[in-house]
Structure 1
Amino acid sequence: MRYAAPPLEDLRWRAPVEPLHTGTVEKATRFQPVCLGIGMHYPDYSHDEDCLFVNVWSPANATPRSKLPVWIFIQGGGYVSLSNANWNGAEVVQKSGHNIVMVNFNYRVGLWGFLASERVREDGDLNAGLLDQRMLMKWVKEHIASFGGDPDKVVIHGASAGAGSVAMHMVAYGGRNDNLFVGAMAESVFFPAQPFVPELEYQFDRVIRQTGCSKVARPKQIACLRSKDVAALQASNYAQPFPGRSQPPMPLFYWTPCIDGDFLRDLPYTLFRRGSFVDVPVLFGTDTDEGSLFAPNTATQPEVADFLANNYPKLTPNDTAAILALYSPPLPLLPGHAPWFPTASRAYGEATFTCPSDNVLNHLHAFTELTDSLFVYRYNVLDDDNLALGIGVPHLFEAAAIFGPDNIGPTAARPSYKTYNAPMVPVLMAYWISFVRTLDPNIYRVKDAPKWGVWGEDMERLVLETGNVRMESTPQDERARCQFWQGLGDVMEQKQ
């Protein structure tokens, strides 16, 4: 179903608007196109600029009087693509005893969602992709009762960039509570560099050069871009080196949210540190080896330094030297990988996912009035195929257990979830469903599953491991490394 008008032509790089009322019944029996991501060829039958669609799964017998809790899932993809499109919510609805409504949706990414410049602000809106997400939440507020959902019992849940988006909605508009959600779940909070608008003028300049709009007078440049066809703009939707970096490989995440002074009034960490956030129960967590799917197969220390600088271009040689010292000596070798891959993997994973989560949680703990509602996990389910590939317990490996291994795409889940890791599926699904229903993962947890304790001074978290689910305190060495990354916050544009 459409939740917003097609963001085409004059609606490009503007906040989403209500779809036109057609006066007819629209068939909503198949998935619609997903938003165009970075580096995709156009045309593509499964992706398009016209992509602001929402999917809803609800019990067949639900009515507006059902008042069921609502689970909104925000996709990841690093803000440059949508990696978790159209995940099937039918199983979690069924396993909840038909006591929830599940929602997922598309939002603009890459150039289409995060092109930034004062020229965009002058005749448009910055962070259009985040505004799409906010529009979806308002759509749920207005319409979810028709599907049996309770608009006052909405939990938002994101994976990777979706998890980073969850954090940003908590601090949006300076932490203003618009009563759009009552709880927040985040798998692997993703905080890349999040620049201020003046730092991103170079991206806009590149796009107008590549599309032939650079010779147009400044006030008309955004109009020139809006006049271009989809293929011409999509041809500029690709990764390029950050300023000061010229050699490959390209940055992993070229387009990201910017600090626009409105939706994001400062760097997200700064807002959390000030206590400027919507105070709701949270369920946050990360995987043991967050960086293993992103790190290059580095053979030397200089290659590690180059990789980090290519993705966080304000890092100086002194900064990368300090990082290498922190992560030395090299970690044990992993199958199929060069000697310094484990170091690159751990450093990037902690800088970009693990430590953002830990540090946000510490800020939440310092200010929240809900100290008994901070639920944190470390996912450590071992899979033989992953171990053989040398990637350990990688980014978002828990997703298949949360939604069911048949529901997140044909290649996303490992076969072990149907064999020796199968016992973890009902455990995770029950914890997550319980949080959606009650804002507490313990109420409807499976029989004999341990009680999930809360994050406190010792940074306690639940370890999710096949046959050994348990609580642990965050190790001191991880805490020290996260304090180190916090000290680099200004340089990383993750100021904390």
Structure 2
Amino acid sequence: LPVWVYIQGGGYAQNSDNNYNGTNVVRESQSNIVLVNFNYRVGALGFLAAEQVRQDGDLNVGLLDQRKLLEWVQKHIKQFGGDPRHVVLHGTSAGGGSITHHLTAYGGRNDDLFVGAASQSSFWPPLTTVSERQWQFSRFVNDTGCSDSPEPMNCLRSASLTTIATANIVHAYPGAFSQDPLPHWTWLPVIDGSFVQGSLYRQFERGQFVKVPMLITNTNDEGTAFASDAANPADFSMFLKNNYPALTKSDIDALIGAYPLRSPLPTKQAWFPSVAAAYGDATFTCPGNHLALSFSRFYSPWNIWRYRFNMQDPPQVAAGLGVPHAFDTDAIFGPGYAGNYAASFVGINADIVPVTMKYYISFVRSLDPNRYKDAGTMRPPSWVLMRILSQ
């Protein structure tokens, strides 16, 4: 049977939900798939980075955990009725970002671990070098009481999980404007020269990735769940600087110019829509667009599918969030099978659940979301392939 391997998100800082339940999608597939879900190390346990870690350990171990799971699937999934030659990856948010790291792993080396991938709201935060994360290691060592140890790595290994968890917090980046608002994510993958060999943008631009059929998705309002409630351009600037410390003043001015004041949203300050749009584009939507363009260029435009989920939920809209990040997850797994869910998925939006779910089931089964789509689904229009030439 085709195998659906799901990588959950959580910003690489936490596992977003340990209650993902594949029962519904397996049932709706008429038992024509096997679904695998798992946990991986996150936060300091998964993404602590420094030269000391490189010399006396491993970098990006959260991603290496995932890779080990994919190797385990190749060896053992037959015991569960799965076909190791037909493994399709699916990830949400940081899970979607993880998908892109597996596509580009070891410079795009194909280890035959999967034959297709679905990247849902792919999360691409700043990807830094190891040296650029040294400050975080120093603070973590201090917060765990290991700063005076002559062997800080040994000290960390002997620390209790309670101590580790207490120190597993977000600090402001060096050079940030202030402590408020703190950056959303700081425990992140780094360029290690091996598994992660460089910028995701650059690797995809150069064709350094595994070429397989792709389903690439986003929601309509990716940034609303994360943006600061900015009242003015100064708040906008502070949010950008605190989350992207490498931005210069001219960079920030250009971004504010590109995202001027927008129509207001309920319960939100005047500049919130602009901040949300900028953050959503930079972190989630533009990565999806870049993936689609790169796969079309280096692989095949006929084996790439893209959707934007825009099913509005009245309470989310009333809160000024629109259709927020990863809101389609409940439509993929079914209400109640991916943790808490919006009531509209069993009410006014109930019809979208079988449509979305069966797109994913079809993609896992056949590497085409339309082959086994829901019987009531209208086939989307075909887009004419065009080559744009610049003078």
Q: In which range does the TM-score fall when normalised by the shorter chain?
A: over 0.9
CA distance in 1, matches of 2:384, 2:98: 24
Q: Is this contact kept in 2: 1:374–1:454, CA < 8 A?
A: no
Secondary structure in 1 aligned to 2:170?
coil
Match of 1:159 in 2: 92
Secondary structure in 1 aligned to 2:37?
strand
Q: How far is 1:261 from its partner? A: 0.3
Structure 1 length-normalised TM: 0.76
Match of 1:352 in 2: 283
Greater Cα shift, 441-450 or 400-409: 441-450
Asked if 1:367 corresponds to 2:367, the answer is no
Asked if 1:254 corresponds to 2:186, the answer is yes
For residue 95 of structure 1, the aligned residue among 15, 20, 28 is: 28
Asked if 1:216 corresponds to 2:155, the answer is no
Match of 1:421 in 2: 349
Secondary structure in 1 aligned to 2:128?
coil
Secondary structure in 2 aligned to 1:377?
strand
The one-character-per-residue Cα deviations of 1:453-479 (angstroms, maximum 9, x if unpaired) are 6777569xxxxxxxxxxxxxxxxxxxx
Match of 2:378 in 1: 450
Q: Which has the higher contact order (CA 8 A, sep 6+)?
A: 2
Q: How far is 1:216 from its partner? A: 2.7
Q: How far is 1:260 from its partner? A: 0.3
Secondary structure in 2 aligned to 1:152?
coil
Q: Is this contact kept in 1: 2:181–2:228, CA < 8 A?
A: no
For residue 232 of structure 1, the aligned residue among 148, 163, 171 is: 163
What is the letter of the counterpart of residue 368 of structure 2?
Answer: D
Match of 1:84 in 2: 17
CA distance in 1, matches of 2:104, 2:75: 22
The one-character-per-residue Cα deviations of 1:188-236 (angstroms, maximum 9, x if unpaired) are 010001111111111111112222322233xx22111111111112221
Asked if 1:338 corresponds to 2:269, the answer is yes
Structure 2 length-normalised TM: 0.96
The one-character-per-residue Cα deviations of 1:8-56 (angstroms, maximum 9, x if unpaired) are xxxxxxxxxxxxxxxxxxxxxxxxxxxxxxxxxxxxxxxxxxxxxxxxx
Q: Is this contact kept in 2: 1:175–1:277, CA < 8 A?
A: yes
The one-character-per-residue Cα deviations of 1:311-362 (angstroms, maximum 9, x if unpaired) are 111111111110111111x111111111111111111000100011111221
Match of 1:396 in 2: 326
For residue 293 of structure 1, the aligned residue among 203, 220, 225 is: 225
Secondary structure in 2 aligned to 1:235?
helix
Q: Is this contact kept in 1: 2:2–2:364, CA < 8 A?
A: yes
- Structure 1 pair 239/111, CA: closer, same or farther in 2 (3 Å)? same
CA distance in 1, matches of 2:281, 2:384: 20
Match of 2:363 in 1: 435
- Structure 1 pair 452/101, CA: closer, same or farther in 2 (3 Å)? farther
Match of 2:119 in 1: 186
Secondary structure in 1 aligned to 2:191?
coil
Q: How far is 1:106 from its partner? A: 0.3
Q: How far is 1:452 from its partner? A: 4.6
CA distance in 2, matches of 1:317, 1:142: 52
RMSD of equivalent CA atoms: 1.4
What is the letter of the counterpart of residue 265 of structure 1?
Answer: Q
What is the letter of the counterpart of residue 387 of structure 1?
Answer: V
- Structure 1 pair 189/454, CA: closer, same or farther in 2 (3 Å)? farther
Q: How does 1:321-336 map to 2 (within 5 A)?
A: 321-328=253-260, 330-336=261-267
What is the letter of the counterpart of residue 336 of structure 1?
Answer: T
CA distance in 2, matches of 1:214, 1:124: 18
CA distance in 2, matches of 1:336, 1:265: 43
What is the letter of the counterpart of residue 285 of structure 1?
Answer: T
Q: Is this contact kept in 2: 1:71–1:436, CA < 8 A?
A: yes
Q: How far is 1:105 from its partner? A: 0.4
For residue 169 of structure 1, the aligned residue among 94, 97, 102 is: 102
Secondary structure in 2 aligned to 1:338?
coil
CA distance in 1, matches of 2:168, 2:383: 40
Q: How far is 1:394 from its partner? A: 0.6
Match of 2:312 in 1: 382
Q: How far is 1:165 from its partner? A: 0.3
CA distance in 1, matches of 2:386, 2:343: 36
Secondary structure in 1 aligned to 2:26?
helix
In structure 2, stretches of 5+ residues that fail to align are none
Secondary structure in 2 aligned to 1:337?
coil
Secondary structure in 2 aligned to 1:376?
strand
Q: How far is 1:448 from its partner? A: 3.8
- Structure 1 pair 192/408, CA: closer, same or farther in 2 (3 Å)? same
Percent identical residues: 48
Q: How far is 1:450 from its partner? A: 2.7
- Structure 1 pair 84/186, CA: closer, same or farther in 2 (3 Å)? farther
CA distance in 2, matches of 1:170, 1:84: 24
Q: How far is 1:282 from its partner? A: 0.2
CA distance in 1, matches of 2:21, 2:281: 30
Q: How many equivalent residue pairs?
A: 386
Greater Cα shift, 161-170 or 223-232: 223-232
Q: Is the helix fraction higher in 1 or 2?
A: 2
Q: Is this contact kept in 2: 1:298–1:339, CA < 8 A?
A: yes
